[in-house]
Structure 1
Amino acid sequence: MLSILAQNCQCGGIRGELRFNQQLFSTPFPFDHFANSLYNANMKKWNITSQDPGEFTLVADARSTHTDYVNDHIWEIRYRHVEPPALTIQTTYGLRALSFRIFPRFLEGETVVVDPANFDIPLVIHNFGPNFVFLSYSPLPGIMVEAYYWVPDSHVMGGRMIITNNKLQGRELRFELAAILSPDENGHRMVPHEIEKINVLTGKAHNLHPVLFITGGAEEGTGPYPSLASSLELAAGMSREFTWAVAALEDEVDSFQLARATAKRAWDGEMARAELLAESQIIIQTGDPDWDTAFALSQKTALGLLVSPTAQLPHASFVVNRLPHQGFSSQGTGQDYQLNWSGQTPLQTDYLSGLIAVTTPEFAQGLLMNFFAFQRECGFVPKKIGLAGQKSDLLAMPVLGNMAWRIYQITQSEDFLREVFPRLRAFVQGWLSPEQDNDQDGIPEWTRGRQSGFEEHPDSISNPNWALSPDVSMMEEPALCALLVNELKILIRMAGILKNKAALPELEAMKAKMEKAIHESWDEETAIYYRWDKYTHFSPAGEVLATGTGPGIILAPTQFEHPVRLLIQIEADNLSHSNFNIFIHGSETTDKHWVEQISSAQFSWHMSTGKALSLRVYSSLEYVDVYKVEGDVKVTVHVADFRAEDISAFLPLWSGTSSPKNAKKLIEETLTNPKRFWRPYGLLAALASEHPTVHMPWNAMVGRGLLAYGDQDTAAKLVSKLMNAIIKNLKESGSFYTCYDAETGQGLQERNTVDGLAPLELFLETLGVRILSPRKFAFEGKNPFPWPVTIKYRGVTIVRRKRRTTITFPDGQTVAITTPKPRVVSLTSMSVS
């Protein structure tokens, strides 16, 4: 079925600084009725108010300029929770200043308006991208303001304002642009200054000299804050335009020249380019405008995390979050950056890739290739890589193949597959090296809990039960096996495409071994997969055997049904550097008595708690001898716990390894059980955690696991829970967060990290839609959400109803799908397959 899609749009431009608006009939007049309004450009129209979700950090966009990793000025628009109350754009220049705020003031007669709460027509945001925001408001009755904020590169920020008199009589008012700099002890506040006979404001923050420049012959403001001002005489329907910029370089004159050059750039063209990039996003229109905004803001934030290549990384990379207090390296190299700017993990990279791969596949591909830039001949790829050359000595979490397959599905480039296949194969083989598979049984182990990318792994010190958990080097787990199964499945698909039959036997054998281990870890009674002791292959529950004080003997006579590994926990101040020994007396299945010595060097410490794991396993225990400790210390003897339950146990769903029977039981009795993992705002990270948290990347993986077993409805419910948490925080604090409280939805840890963005890829897949390219789309199943969903991407419009999907291409051709069976629609051949 073919049809013609007619689209009508009203376009307008702005030229000069003084214009007359002939479409003037009433006051107040709807904003988008102004024919010469910036808002009537060919752009997506948003109407985001102060009551809606909002996050408007502005940064240099790596897609259109070269960002400066060690000197990156990051701005943030705030219109609530700011002092003084004002429509403020602010930064700290990477903590080189306590704060630097710029905001407008409007004066008419005795009336002064600064606080957005006092605007005659409240602020509305109409368009945005990583580096710009376009908004409007009416500070005074009949006075309409259109404001455009733009960050063209890492060292300058500018704005454009159009002030229109919408009354039927002339108006006299005064506009001031105030700038409040709170410097460190070596700087000074903004003050009026004249450079080349032009009035500007200048200041000093550490090594920077910010200069604020405004067009139109501004004069020094008379208000309580340092400002540049202009007096306006506006006849009925007349507009006045200003452009302004603030640059901060190490030389004041250089700052002035950059600010002036920015203010005098061809703003129509610059805005058109920025808006064109914004239009390349996937526009989602659901039955809930808050969802639409959250998906758009997530894409904006994700793209804003991208940072240009450096001498140490060949391709653009990203930082975990990008906030005004970040972006300055005092060493000038980036080596002194804190965690979120010193590199990213494979899991974070995979999650970001899911947000940007469709719209910018070249950047997603570069993120993957950065990892391979550090690959060794043995296949080792570091767990974490950074723009200053930072790298981890741990092997990367096995999700690189997942990233590669996503990119291939979008680009369909066999050249890309030929390049990455041998690298991925060597990487997976590296997981079976003696360093990762100590017992060489074909099932590897994590070296450290943090290697898993799971913050609440039992071996992680952030887990409150860390002191009761066995060392990861002694355990094997279904999550790691599932990750590798997924990588191996992808390698097998790649080998098929590349006709590399020789690689298949090894890959199939490795996959079968991992799958067998996963199946054997299933516990029918509790309906979950458990970690297991890599030598005994049992999964004993943790148990306290004895508690006492040392030095001395702690009696703990116990017989065990299956051999167990013992964990010794010590609680004492100032003992972590002492030289002491623990002697365990017991026997294994042979009934031969032995004594195992655990030295102080074998203990891991966190604050005043230390733990050590026995290297031997025991079928019976007699007593524990605590030797050479100073003073009384509390000693507890445990059976090491291999039955900690957390979200990673659902990865066999994600990899498609669970049997249909086990998958059904896992979903019904464990995953969707409100007493276990199914909480108001998503899937709980770990049952034993003191703080019930939800982690978006892990929830997204599990959600895709639900889809792998055909459970669209449960996946849709999970997406709804996650979106509720995100929207709650965007409304309350204007931020995404690293993770969210599973019970209250409250954002936790750091603001605007990649880990906390909306799960766009999961939403689309739950909807049954995959965008393979701007001209090719895949559909499967039904729309499980309670309303129709419209997706707009590069001129294509998809309307997904409960049982019917309509795809309209840019040339007007339309295709309808009414079956839940998998279908691929391609504009190139206008075929449905």
Structure 2
Amino acid sequence: MSMNQNPWNRPLPLEVVLGGEKRFTRPLPDPTQSWVVIGGADPAAALRVKSRFANHLDEISLQARYCEGLLEGNSPGNFPQPPTLDQMSWDWIEYHYQPLRDLEVEVINWVPDPRVICGKHTIQNNGSQTREITLELTCQDEMGIPGIHLATETFQGRLILSGRSNRQNLLLFLAGSRNLPAAPSNQLTATSTLEPMGRTEIRWILICCDSDCEMHKYLDAVIKLDWEGEIARRKIALSSQLQIKTGNADRDFSLAFSQRQARLILHQQILQAENGLKRDFPLRPFPAWQLYLALAPLETPPLEQLLRTACGENLEEGPSFPIAAELLWQAQKAGVSPDLLQKFLPAVEGNLQAWFSILHDKDQDGIPEEPGGNLFQLDRYNPQDNSYGIDPYQNDETLETPGLAALLHNEICQLEKLREMAPGPLEFSKRKKKLEEFILDSWQDDESRFQTRDYRTHLSKKGYSVPGPIQNGWNILRLKLPYPSRLILQVPRASDNHLPGDLRVALQGTDWQGRYRIEVLDSRNILRSENGGWGATETLFSELDYCVVVGLEGTQNINLVTHGADRQDLSLTLPLWFTDLPPEIGERMITTSLAESADFWSAYGLKSYPLPGNSPVQLPLNLLVCQGLIKSGHCRQAGDLFKRWTDVISLNLAQTGRLYSSWESKTGTSRGKGNLLESTLPIGLLLELLGVRFLVSGNLILEERDPVLFPVQLIYRGTEITLEEKETLVCRPGGDMITLPRGKKAVIQL
């Protein structure tokens, strides 16, 4: 395998979102404002740039078209060469194509500010005749039609277009050999005469902002920028970031695409923090941990901003996913100053303390219940209709789970280590002992797996179905349920494939505290899926006397079930985070749950559910399991898991132009929305598997670790590190070469 392949050399992706650093002093109305370069199967689509806003639908696009002869040219669908990506980062992209025969165009789009995008087109005539080439730029609304009306005006002796879309003010500037308004509205053209092998350059600027009085100031400032210097600075910044080469160009592209996507998300988070928009913060500790892994190695300034957003005062608003101390510990291992980390310890300790409050540990036994709302962000599985997406555990706060306990135990351990550097009031030793006992007690030796339990009875019970059928009218049941539980209402679709429009179900019985209760569910309480409807009671029934049903059609009936306290999903393998887990238990659990052909194994990663159906594979929970495998010393299994992710993510990226965080376990087909934070790849876990640790001081540490992934080449700040099976080669910028046995610890100055 050649390590010299260029991962960027491929067709332009379906869409590439570009952001920018805030350059102008005026506040941003929408810190997530971005620009989208549209690619895809149609070559003409590569010439379209959209403005996108997160808080409202107000997309405008700029369509570019080349013509030969004044306003006469080929159909865009007849491009001799479709666009090819050259390279890109989070705030710029470079690609080339042939819009006309023997006409080569190199395009760089870059974003000097979130409200501005610039285009530089370098055009070369590869033909044998002198040619007159025209570039047309046309503004359109989000539907692709000229619904925006822009007026022509003069700026510094040149014609520009300005006007307003639904919510934003627009301005378009085009510089070229000749600049003429075209007959259609919302259009500017630039025409150049090119001799054989002649080259020319055309530049344009599109501004989309909230104040027309600022647009001309922005335009003047951007025109005066050193464009070549700005572009060169961005290319240098890209070359100084970590580059990874595995010998597989598709895999390398996925890793590089993920890095630029993560950097875009980080800068949008920074802009939100600067604007003080706390209501828009999606960056809680768990996504911050994912972002940290995706951006490794991260320099001190952005790392400090990341920690401040995820582990600062925002953390005190309520208990968050228990991984903030792990994030701080990873930052400490990267060489971040203990004085800086100490600033965040009170908020992290407060978050941990909140988990043990009576709100989240209702029986005060030292084992917090997993909160309702899907802590691990799983697509819940319905065994009754073999579908996903409806959560029968929604709002259920009755389960004590070994996965949550293991993460809380890890948080206490990491805080203890952090407090060794910065002593302070930390009193969690008794709680840590309680968590240890619960994790070990939840191990089911006869089934070789962990088990959840009900917080009141401390029992693990399987689900139960109320005998039926249950139809319209009074249904006399007189049942004593095996254990107190919420009741799940299942409504199959009628023969004509629709759900009842006005369904009412009244349940009467005794709750778990001996009180007689009547609870009514109607169509407003029922969640709808492809195969039927689901609803759940708030009451935990111990006895069920009657069920009164109104609104079923024909021979329709409903089912009543309990989900039980023995929930089985991939989070049951998270006790791998428990550092004192007996090795024999860890080995048996991996064999029965994670190894090839085991309950959760699939060719595309670990399934969310141990079922023969097409359970989804979800990257966020897979990341947690992979980190647990590394912590427990099972790096080979973690490396195999990482390769399976990257292979399926590379396949979906090639097919759709997007990264996804969820896919089908049988086919690898992507699910959900693409290019979100949770879909970024964990570069930090890859480095940990390789035994490579970059410090913020500039040093490189090679850890003592058996080779898992090889060959892999890392390029960082001019230094090349090639990890082979038996040796590691380090080549410095000056050409000096160091050869070390693979797995030998070493500290190298970069």
Equivalent pair of 2:727/2:740 in contact (CA under 8 Å)? yes
Does 2:746 match 1:827?
no
CA deviations over 1:425-476 (Å, ceiling 9, x no partner): 33222211111111111111133233444454999xx985967549632210
CA distance in 2, matches of 1:93, 1:101: 16
Corresponding residue for residue 147 of structure 1? 107
Q: Which amino acid aligns with 1:293?
A: F
Corresponding residue for residue 399 of structure 1? 323
Corresponding residue for residue 27 of structure 1? none
CA distance in 1, matches of 2:520, 2:742: 64
Corresponding residue for residue 367 of structure 1? 306
Quickly say closer, same or farther: Cα 1:123–1:423, change in 2 above 3 A.
same
How far 1:220 sits from its partner (Å)? 2.9
Equivalent pair of 2:46/2:83 in contact (CA under 8 Å)? no
Does 2:149 match 1:216?
no
Corresponding residue for residue 295 of structure 1? 255
CA distance in 1, matches of 2:352, 2:201: 59
How far 1:287 sits from its partner (Å)? 1.0
How far 1:517 sits from its partner (Å)? 0.7
CA distance in 1, matches of 2:215, 2:389: 53
Corresponding residue for residue 90 of structure 1? 50
How far 1:648 sits from its partner (Å)? 0.9
Quickly say closer, same or farther: Cα 1:692–1:104, change in 2 above 3 A.
same
SS of equivalent to 1:750: coil
Corresponding residue for residue 344 of structure 1? 283
CA distance in 2, matches of 1:309, 1:86: 28
SS of equivalent to 1:751: coil
Q: Which amino acid aligns with 1:612?
A: T
Correspondences of 1:274-285 after superposition (within 5 Å):
274-285=234-245
Alignment length (residue pairs) = 723
CA distance in 1, matches of 2:708, 2:391: 43
Correspondences of 1:595-606 after superposition (within 5 Å):
596-600=515-519, 605-606=525-526
CA distance in 2, matches of 1:471, 1:96: 32
Equivalent pair of 1:315/1:367 in contact (CA under 8 Å)? no
CA distance in 2, matches of 1:199, 1:468: 61
CA deviations over 1:772-812 (Å, ceiling 9, x no partner): 33322233324433x51110112222111112112234455
CA distance in 2, matches of 1:470, 1:256: 52
Correspondences of 1:124-273 after superposition (within 5 Å):
124-140=84-100, 142-166=102-126, 169=128, 171-182=130-141, 188-190=148-150, 193-195=153-155, 197-216=157-176, 218-220=178-180, 227-250=187-210, 254-273=214-233
Corresponding residue for residue 494 of structure 2? none
Does 2:442 match 1:521?
yes
Quickly say closer, same or farther: Cα 1:631–1:238, change in 2 above 3 A.
closer
SS of equivalent to 1:103: strand
Q: 1:544 aligns with which of 465, 468, 471?
A: 465
Equivalent pair of 1:247/1:256 in contact (CA under 8 Å)? no
CA deviations over 1:91-137 (Å, ceiling 9, x no partner): 355655454133241426998356476235x5332221111012223
Corresponding residue for residue 40 of structure 1? none
SS of equivalent to 1:435: coil
CA distance in 1, matches of 2:71, 2:62: 25
SS of equivalent to 2:406: helix
Q: Which amino acid aligns with 1:516?
A: E
CA distance in 2, matches of 1:485, 1:458: 31
Equivalent pair of 2:574/2:625 in contact (CA under 8 Å)? yes
Q: 1:625 aligns with which of 541, 545, 560?
A: 545
How far 1:88 sits from its partner (Å)? 2.3
CA deviations over 1:49-91 (Å, ceiling 9, x no partner): 21x7675211124699998352654222223245955532223
Q: Which amino acid aligns with 2:350?
A: A
How far 1:674 sits from its partner (Å)? 3.5
Correspondences of 1:487-506 after superposition (within 5 Å):
487-498=411-422, 503=426, 506=427
Quickly say closer, same or farther: Cα 1:482–1:223, change in 2 above 3 A.
farther
Quickly say closer, same or farther: Cα 1:398–1:762, change in 2 above 3 A.
same
Equivalent pair of 1:647/1:686 in contact (CA under 8 Å)? yes
Equivalent pair of 2:607/2:615 in contact (CA under 8 Å)? yes
Quickly say closer, same or farther: Cα 1:198–1:252, change in 2 above 3 A.
farther
Instruction: Report the TM-score when normalising by structure 2.
Output: 0.85
Does 2:404 match 1:480?
yes
Q: Which moved more, 1:623-632 or 1:645-654?
A: 623-632
CA distance in 2, matches of 1:163, 1:446: 60
Corresponding residue for residue 801 of structure 1? 724
Q: Which amino acid aligns with 1:625?
A: D
Does 2:646 match 1:723?
yes
CA distance in 2, matches of 1:223, 1:230: 13
Quickly say closer, same or farther: Cα 1:310–1:715, change in 2 above 3 A.
closer
SS of equivalent to 1:135: strand
Corresponding residue for residue 337 of structure 2? 413
How far 1:293 sits from its partner (Å)? 1.2
Corresponding residue for residue 79 of structure 1? 39
Q: Which amino acid aligns with 2:545?
A: D
CA distance in 2, matches of 1:83, 1:56: 15
CA distance in 2, matches of 1:456, 1:366: 34
Corresponding residue for residue 589 of structure 2? 666
Corresponding residue for residue 815 of structure 1? 738
How far 1:493 sits from its partner (Å)? 1.2
SS of equivalent to 1:784: coil
Q: 1:554 aligns with which of 456, 477, 487?
A: 477
Corresponding residue for residue 569 of structure 1? 488
Q: Which amino acid aligns with 2:410?
A: N
Correspondences of 1:626-641 after superposition (within 5 Å):
626=546, 638=561, 640-641=563-564
CA deviations over 1:556-601 (Å, ceiling 9, x no partner): 478x6xxx334433457688998x552149xx9xxxxx95523428
Corresponding residue for residue 354 of structure 1? 293
Does 2:684 match 1:761?
yes
CA distance in 2, matches of 1:576, 1:342: 39
Q: Which amino acid aligns with 1:381?
A: E
CA distance in 2, matches of 1:316, 1:672: 47
Q: Which moved more, 1:657-666 or 1:94-103?
A: 94-103
CA distance in 2, matches of 1:470, 1:127: 44
In structure 1, the gaps of 5 or more residues are 1-43, 318-332, 336-340, 383-393, 589-593, 618-622, 829-833
Corresponding residue for residue 381 of structure 1? 316
Q: 2:10 aligns with which of 40, 46, 49?
A: 49
CA distance in 1, matches of 2:181, 2:503: 62
CA distance in 2, matches of 1:628, 1:458: 24
CA deviations over 1:256-303 (Å, ceiling 9, x no partner): 453354244211111122223222321001110111111111111111
CA RMSD of aligned residues (A): 3.9
Equivalent pair of 2:207/2:215 in contact (CA under 8 Å)? yes
CA distance in 1, matches of 2:299, 2:367: 36
Quickly say closer, same or farther: Cα 1:480–1:796, change in 2 above 3 A.
same
Q: 2:350 aligns with which of 426, 433, 449?
A: 426
How far 1:199 sits from its partner (Å)? 2.0
CA distance in 2, matches of 1:743, 1:124: 32
Q: 1:582 aligns with which of 499, 508, 531?
A: 508
CA distance in 1, matches of 2:610, 2:194: 65
How far 1:509 sits from its partner (Å)? 2.8
Q: Which moved more, 1:686-695 or 1:519-528?
A: 686-695
CA distance in 2, matches of 1:199, 1:64: 24
Q: Which amino acid aligns with 1:351?
A: Q
Equivalent pair of 2:29/2:210 in contact (CA under 8 Å)? no
How far 1:652 sits from its partner (Å)? 1.0
In structure 2, the gaps of 5 or more residues are 492-499, 528-532
How far 1:646 sits from its partner (Å)? 1.2
How far 1:555 sits from its partner (Å)? 4.0
CA distance in 1, matches of 2:119, 2:183: 21
Q: 1:650 aligns with which of 547, 570, 573?
A: 573
